[in-house]
Amino acid sequence: MKQRKLTMNIGIISFIVIFVILCLMTFAILSLSSAKSNAQSVENSINHTKQYYLLSSQGEKTLETIDNYLYQYYQSSTNSDDYFTHIQSLTQIIPDSSIHQHLLTYTLQDQENTLYVEIEILYPGSQLYQIKTWKITPSNEWDMDQSMDIL
């Protein structure tokens, strides 16, 4: 009697190897795509943070300028009425600013954000002013990016 041998053809093994290689390539491409998307997200976040702090820094420099002028006005004024009359000239020195009842507002803008600052000007005692609002908002409407490039 002949014994039957169970043999596997080389073709089935080739198909299994090809299938495994295709699975590995698919996972590699998906991983690469995900890493690329994450890198783009991190880059956008870094740029946004950099712009935020640059605008905030410009606001601080403008506030320093205001502080210097307020101190000069205090030094040259004889009383509070004279002092508050002098501060009206700040609107000519600080661009995009206005004064209404001892409340100075100014805005600074870059490509993506707007800084809105509101300070209450005080007759000098322990301080020259008090910051009421310091707010950075987007300059344009938010547009959601839902695209995902796959290689």
Distance in angstroms (rounded) separating the CA atoms of residues 108 and 114 = 6
Q: Lowest-pLDDT range, 4-8, 24-28, 36-40, 108-112? A: 4-8
> 139 — phi, psi (to 5°)?
-80, -30
Name the nearest CA neighbour of 73 among 81, 65, 83, 63. Answer: 83
Edge-first strand order for the sheet with 129-138 is: 97-100, 103-109, 113-121, 129-138
- Model pLDDT for residues 95-131, shown as the tens digit of each residue: 889 999 899 999 999 888 999 999 999 987 788 999 9
What pTM was estimated for this model as a whole? 0.71
Alpha-carbon torsion, ordered 82, 129, 100, 73, to 10 deg: 30
The model's confidence at residue 149, banded by pLDDT at 50, 70 and 90, is low
Rg of the chain taking only CA atoms, in angstroms: 33
- On the question of pLDDT at 24 being above 90, the answer is yes
Q: For the residues of 17-50, what is the DSSP string, one character each?
A: HHHHHHHHHHHHHHHHHHHHHHHHHHHHHHHHHH
- On the question of pLDDT at 151 being above 60, the answer is no
Please, what's the b/e burial string for 31-63 (b: 16 or more CB within 10 A of its CB; e: otherwise)? Answer: eeeeeeeeeeeeeeeeeeeeeeeebeeebeebb
